[in-house]
Structure 1
Amino acid sequence: MRYLVSVISLLAFLPFYFSAAIPLGPNKVTCVAKGDPHIKTFDGTSYDFSGHCTYDMVNDIDPNHGQSRFGVTVDNMYRRNEKNARVVGFSVRANGHTVHVTGGEDGSFIIRDESRTEIPQTGFPLKHGGIDVKEDEGHLVFETDVGVHVSWNRFFQVVISLDLDVVDDGRFVEGMCGDANGNKENDLKTRDGDLVDFDQPNKTEKQIIEEFGQTWSVENTCVSL
């Protein structure tokens, strides 16, 4: 019964890739967080998770020094009378600089820096530290020089693209997007590095996924219901 993850069909995810606005190649993998939310990891595991916090999707770690050059988080929130939380914002961090985006229901958005100061939108492309922001076919695309890129459709879909050179260079990645090592079987690990066990008595698959996801929540970001 191991890995009885709620599998969302491949066809449901194909539109994500065709509308991602990030060029894909043989040396890149993508992770998708969409809607309420459906998540597909770098290695292709799909699951549903409806937490109401900010979550670490991917961080890179240097095993020798423990330093992280980049990270991406997503913000999940309940809208109006909806039963499930949705992706309503995200952050991209690269080499000490961060841009945080909060989206509106009408496709509007606000961009802030690491101090949460609003960055004036005087037109694109826009640059903040090592993060370049541009428009591409209706999407906002966030590019960095450290191996991670993000495309946002201005509503509820975030696509994270990872250069596999990051992993090949001896670093590793972790988070709700998995470890990008080409193996689905070890995708779902908690923040402490424990592999999720789906053979837990008296717990549903949904409860197990919720417990896993909450280990990746960012401190003091959860909204009380």
Structure 2
Amino acid sequence: MLRVRALNILCFLVVSYDVITSIPLDGDVKIEGNDLNEHEHRALKRVKRSTADVEGDPHFETLDGYEYDFEGRCSYYVLRDCRNLTQRAFDIIANIVPRGEKDTPSSVITSVSVEIEGKYSIIMEEDGSTTVNGNSVEKPLDLIDNGEIEIHSQLDRNVTISVPKFNLTVSWLGLEVHHLRVDLTKPEFKGKVCGLLGNYDGNMDNDFLKPDGSKPESMRDFAKSWRASCPNRG
């Protein structure tokens, strides 16, 4: 069941397993019914960017600078290589679970999975523990594939994955913070990535697209299109 509620500058969209809250700067967004074409996404920041952030319960800021809240209940592709190659360079998946009271829905990221070229599956848990293809990472610095991938584990349980050949850095700090940061600076990926963190083409107005590049029929349709898995779905 879909409910839409608009309160001044806050547009609150609830769906069965995915909740998206769009907070525009000037309160000009209006959501009517269940159609993306009936409301206008406002740009919050018009600056050149290469960093995306997801923090708290969870607050998203895309690579192009669009800010929104996403109260998901599944695992989602937050960013992936979408160049239609035989083998993707990377996939970044966030597992989002509900936290909080029934009347005040809230969610947090509890783990982050980074898949590199189909060869390596790196999973960073909420407590900072990390595995590569199922094997625990114990050292402060772990070099994989002759340094093609670097995993830095710090005392504060912050974990950073660096992939120099893609100019890709993924940082994760779980526990109370639940902060995921993605840095991507390689020009060949501009406009060639996709997911909940947008397409990195410099235009935040088209960040809400489905995996095939089409415009979703609704925000629920957008959320469902980026599910990687949903084990808790009834």
**Under a length normalisation based on structure 2, what TM-score does the superposition of the two structures give?**
0.69
Aligned to 2:122: 99
Match for residue 110 of structure 1?
129
Provide the residue aligned with 1:68 in structure 2: 88
Per-residue Cα deviation, 1:62-83 (whole angstroms, up to 9, x for no partner): 34x4431112111101247573
Match in the other structure for 1:141: 160
2:64 is matched with which residue?
43
Match of 1:216 in 2: 226
The 8 Å contact of residues 31 and 42 in structure 1, kept in 2 or not, is answered as: yes
More strand by percentage? 2
Alignment partner for residue 185 of structure 1, among 194, 197, 205?
205
Equivalent residue number for residue 161 of structure 1: 183
Correspondence for 1:53: 74
SS at match of 2:182: strand
- Of 105, 112, 117, which residue of structure 2 is paired with 1:90? 112
Report deviation, 1:126.
Answer: 1.5
Query: Taking structure 1 as reference, are residues 144 and 40 closer, same or farther at Cα in structure 2, changes over 3 Å only?
Result: same
* TM-score of the two chains, using structure 1 as the length reference: 0.71
What is the RMSD of the two structures over their aligned residues, measured on CA atoms?
2.7
The answer as to whether partners of 1:28 and 1:162 remain within 8 angstroms in 2 is no
Stretch deviating more after TM superposition (30-39 or 78-87): 78-87
Q: Which has the higher contact order (CA 8 A, sep 6+)?
A: 1
1:99–1:128 CA contact under 8 A, matched in 2: no
Q: Which has the larger radius of gyration?
A: 2
Residue equivalent to 2:149? 131
Aligned residues: 185
Q: Secondary structure at 2:106's aligned position in 1?
A: coil
Pick closer, same or farther for the CA change 1:75–1:215 going to 2, 3 Å: same
Q: SS of the counterpart of 1:109?
A: coil
Judge conservation of contact 1:140–1:152 (CA < 8 Å) in 2.
yes
Return the alpha-carbon distance in structure 2 between the equivalents of residues 27 and 93 of structure 1: 27
Counterpart Cα distance in 1 of 2:124 and 2:92: 11
For the 8 Å contact 1:27–1:164, the answer to whether it is kept is no
Q: Distance in 1 between matches of 2:80 and 2:137?
A: 27
Distance in 2, Cα, partners of 1:125 & 1:27 = 31
Residues 178-216 of structure 1, C-alpha deviation per residue, up to 9 Å, x if partnerless? 11000011111012322246xxxxxxxxxx434312210
Which residue does the alignment assign to 1:174?
Answer: 194
Question: 2-side partners of 1:51 and 1:222: how far apart?
Answer: 13
Task: Name the residue aligned to 2:170.
Answer: 150
Q: 1:131 to 1:210 in 2, by over 3 A?
A: farther
* Cα distance change of structure 1 residues 71 and 166 upon mapping to structure 2, 3 Å threshold: farther
In 2, Cα distance between equivalents of 1:154 and 1:224: 24
1:109 shift after superposition: 2.9
| C-alpha contact 2:100 2:107 (8 A) present in aligned 1 | no
Read off the aligned partner of 1:194 and give its amino acid letter. S
1:84-134 deviation per Cα after TM superposition (whole angstroms, max 9, x unaligned)? 22111101122321211111xxxx3321223xx23141x211233432111
